[in-house]
Structure 1
Amino acid sequence: MNVLKRCAFGIGIIGLATLSVQCKSDKKMEANTTQEAKDSVTIVKSDYGTTPKGEKIESYKLKNQNGMEVDIITFGGIITDLKVPNKDGVSENVVTGFTSLEQYMKPNPFFGALIGRFGNRIAKGKFTLDGKEYKLAINNEPNALHGGPEGFFRVVWKAEEAKSGETAVLKLSYLSKDMEEGYPGNLKVIVTYTLTKNNELEVLYEATTDKKTVVNLTQHTYFNLSGDFTKTILDHELTLNADKIVPVDATLIPTGELQDVANTPFDFRKPKLIGKEIDAKDEQLIRGKGYDHCWVLNNPEKSKTIIASVYHPASGRVLEMTTDEPGIQFYSGNFLDGTLPMRNGGTYAHRTGFCLETEHYPDSPNQKNFPTTVLNPGENYKTKTTFKFSVKK
């Protein structure tokens, strides 16, 4: 019953004086309802499949009223879908992904996954703590990569959901047992995904350990802001708030030095097309077969300074990022080779997605001059990265 009908009904029962109060109350109630609908952020749970071990995998859809949706599964904490509007208000998926659990369980380049215990590479799969050497699986010859072949991207996370009028929250937890994948300590990990009404996706990482260990968590989503994965990401404009990169050797392990980006293809301090210099005859680019390097961030106000932004002129979509991490790995999808299926037919071809992985520098456990990744018992590992989406017309 609308306001006019309720008011008319009130005249015959309680008179004009009461009618005035009732109408004001009705209008206030409808205004509040309208505001709640406007601010509403929802979260919906559904089944996603079962692993060969009989583990049930769930999917959670976080959605706001601006047309932004994020789908996350408990296998690997993977972001399977992320839809945001373009400049015409049309929401499209802007991340790589598959349509089934079976496909995510097959070998793939970490599409949408949580990465741990250690994001990026560790030289020759070994490091030393307090005089003891720890050996890891070599899954990126001759190095260890992204926590090993059975890293956090392949485990089943426990999920807890919560929501209010302004945020939808999915909290994922996992206990990585002592010596899992070669890492010491029972590591309790919590990763919290939060979708806001302002088209922000916040990712909060937390961890504690009962034994000295190393930790470097990140998120490995591949973006293509065009929403069309038959196209490359070379027409995206990238800005990175960084004066230096971490140069690597022929095996993509840091040399231990930091290199100025000035007068190199790695200078993204002003907006530049990703494709402008990606194939330049630069030793670092040749080693990475394109961009696959860690930038040293200028981050004076951690979690407030925009450390990376990407703009796609045709769609008008903009991605801005903040973090409290010292580095960011920009990867231009150089090893996508047309062998992995897209959702709606076709395959993910060379450079059809890019990653921006906030992190500590690669091989930090073996590099004394890099910010430490050591976590001691009694300490709390805590870091947050925010992905904010908007449009520019």
Structure 2
Amino acid sequence: MSVRVFGQVDGVDIQEIAIRCEAGAEAKILTWGAVVRDLLVPTAKGPQRVVVGFNTIEDYIGYSAHAGAIAGRYANRIANGTFTLDGKTYTLTRNQDGKHTSHGGGKGEAFGKRPWTLADHDESSVTLELHSRDGDAGFPGALDVSVTYRMVEPATLRIEITASSDAPTVINFASHSYFHLDLPPGFGNGPVPSSLDHELVIAGDFYTPLDADCIPTGEIRGVADTVFDFRQPRRVRHADGVKYDIGFVLREVPHPANVPVHGATLHGPATGMTMQVFTTEPHLQFYDAVKFKAPVPGLDGALYGANCGICLEPQHFPDSPNHRHFTNTELRPGETYEQVTEYRFG
């Protein structure tokens, strides 16, 4: 375990904390956005990097597209930047084309674009905390959030998120890493190959259709006989050039013990690396990074462009506050929100 200053934002030191498990898997976590900056998995050929990451805090501010961050206070979208709770209508920061709220607002509002506080750490785990004031980006209630990253033997990154509020509010959190399992140990200094040849399984029989602004229509449709059917392993690349930024209703409902269940499996055919996603959340957003573009080199000189990684983001339904039949994302005083998500590599 090590802690170093990664950079500064508005005079605040941004720290990087390295955590690892005995088998050799290692993650580097930033106090900026609670970002997973790097994640290395041991293999017979050496440590294999499995996430998109950047070299400076300026690059994260300018180009990261939430890479590795915790999205919140409300991950994904809220239509028209407004919702009604207990008879009162709230207007939020509309940071998506001036029309909608995406990932909680802009810099200084979105949880993935502001400093967190280092609360605790040891060799294999780190806990970060964030206080979000009442009215932050327009959301009601002062919110206290904690995220713990934990390396679990032999090669699992476990993410534990808790939150409490002093007034009724709505919340939704998601881990927004871009995964690429086909970068061989030592890869660097060049364009990252497309991740579209990865094989994917999603444990969901239904998906939530979107309109042209990536806002849920309110429908819940079956995946059978659609391009969104990933119930059996298949390549992400589609013959018709389909682009994916869509959410799935996960099949299994976690039991009250808050134990994560299987949500997805991603496989890199070139390296043989597999990642299983386990979560307590009811919904999984799948994004193929088709819009990703960074004009600066990333880790070890890697160049990130379209389809440089796969996002598999457990969360609640997007825009739930405006669709009463979606999962409940309300948090009230005296309640504690809890999420557990695990990315298991092998």
TM-score class, shorter-chain normalisation, is over 0.9
- Residue 107 of structure 1 deviates from its aligned partner by 4.6
Q: Which residue of 1 aligns with 2:246?
A: 293
Is the Cα contact below 8 Å between 1:338 and 1:350 reproduced in 2? Answer: no
TM-aligned CA distance change 1:350 to 1:180, over 3 Å: same
* Equivalent runs, 1:93-108 vs 2, <5 Å: 93-108=49-64
Counterpart CA distance in 2 for 1:163 and 1:152 is 23
- Residue 278 of structure 1 deviates from its aligned partner by 6.3
> Which residue of the other structure, out of 198, 217, 237, is the alignment partner of 2:199?
237
TM-aligned CA distance change 1:97 to 1:144, over 3 Å: same
2:104 matches 1:147: yes
- Residue 161 of structure 1 deviates from its aligned partner by 3.1
2:18 matches 1:61: yes
> Which residue of the other structure, out of 74, 79, 104, is the alignment partner of 2:36?
79
Query: Which structure 1 residue ranges, 5 or more long, are not aligned?
Result: 1-42, 281-289
Is the Cα contact below 8 Å between 2:73 and 2:171 reproduced in 1? Answer: yes
Is the Cα contact below 8 Å between 2:260 and 2:340 reproduced in 1? Answer: no
Is the Cα contact below 8 Å between 2:76 and 2:103 reproduced in 1? Answer: yes
Identity of aligned residues (%): 36
* Residues 51-94 of structure 1: CA deviation (Å, up to 9, x unaligned): 2x2111111111123231100011111111111134x3421211
Counterpart CA distance in 2 for 1:337 and 1:221 is 15
Q: Which residue of 2 aligns with 1:6?
A: none
Q: Which residue of 1 aligns with 2:87?
A: 131
Which amino acid is the alignment partner of residue 25 of structure 2? Answer: M
Counterpart CA distance in 1 for 2:303 and 2:121 is 36
Query: Which structure 2 residue ranges, 5 or more long, are not aligned?
Result: none
Is the Cα contact below 8 Å between 1:261 and 1:267 reproduced in 2? Answer: yes
TM-score between the two structures when normalised by the length of structure 1: 0.82
Counterpart CA distance in 2 for 1:340 and 1:271 is 34
> Which residue of the other structure, out of 200, 223, 227, is the alignment partner of 2:156?
200
TM-aligned CA distance change 1:344 to 1:163, over 3 Å: closer
Query: Secondary structure at 1:361's aligned position in 2?
Result: coil
Is the Cα contact below 8 Å between 1:202 and 1:385 reproduced in 2? Answer: yes
* Residues 261-305 of structure 1: CA deviation (Å, up to 9, x unaligned): 11111111011111135614xxxxxxxxx1101100001445343
2:118 matches 1:159: yes
- Residue 160 of structure 1 deviates from its aligned partner by 2.8
Task: Give 1 or 2 for the bigger CA radius of gyration.
Answer: 1
- Residue 105 of structure 1 deviates from its aligned partner by 2.1
Which amino acid is the alignment partner of residue 262 of structure 1? Answer: A
Which amino acid is the alignment partner of residue 241 of structure 1? Answer: A
TM-aligned CA distance change 1:340 to 1:360, over 3 Å: farther
Counterpart CA distance in 2 for 1:304 and 1:205 is 13
- Residue 196 of structure 1 deviates from its aligned partner by 1.3
Which amino acid is the alignment partner of residue 264 of structure 2? Answer: A
TM-aligned CA distance change 1:59 to 1:210, over 3 Å: same
Q: Which residue of 2 aligns with 1:49?
A: 7
- Residue 49 of structure 1 deviates from its aligned partner by 1.6
Is the Cα contact below 8 Å between 2:285 and 2:313 reproduced in 1? Answer: yes
Query: Secondary structure at 2:338's aligned position in 1?
Result: strand
TM-aligned CA distance change 1:231 to 1:183, over 3 Å: same
- Residue 306 of structure 1 deviates from its aligned partner by 1.6
Q: Which residue of 2 aligns with 1:319?
A: 275
* Residues 224-274 of structure 1: CA deviation (Å, up to 9, x unaligned): 111256201111110000001000112211111111111111111011111
Counterpart CA distance in 2 for 1:337 and 1:54 is 28
- Residue 346 of structure 1 deviates from its aligned partner by 5.7
Is the Cα contact below 8 Å between 2:278 and 2:341 reproduced in 1? Answer: yes
- Residue 341 of structure 1 deviates from its aligned partner by 3.1
TM-aligned CA distance change 1:145 to 1:340, over 3 Å: farther
Identify the structure with the greater helix proportion: 1
Counterpart CA distance in 1 for 2:240 and 2:275 is 20
Counterpart CA distance in 1 for 2:193 and 2:168 is 45
Counterpart CA distance in 1 for 2:312 and 2:339 is 15
Is the Cα contact below 8 Å between 2:19 and 2:122 reproduced in 1? Answer: no
* Equivalent runs, 1:363-378 vs 2, <5 Å: 363-378=319-334
Query: Secondary structure at 1:103's aligned position in 2?
Result: helix
Q: Which residue of 1 aligns with 2:144?
A: 188
TM-aligned CA distance change 1:154 to 1:278, over 3 Å: farther
Structure 1 runs, 4 residues or longer, greater than 6 Å off? none
Counterpart CA distance in 2 for 1:301 and 1:353 is 28
Which amino acid is the alignment partner of residue 298 of structure 1? Answer: R
- Which deviates more from structure 2 when the two are superposed, residues 377-386 or residues 270-279? 270-279
Is the Cα contact below 8 Å between 1:45 and 1:58 reproduced in 2? Answer: yes
- What is the CA RMSD across the aligned residues, in angstroms? 1.6
Is the Cα contact below 8 Å between 1:96 and 1:112 reproduced in 2? Answer: yes
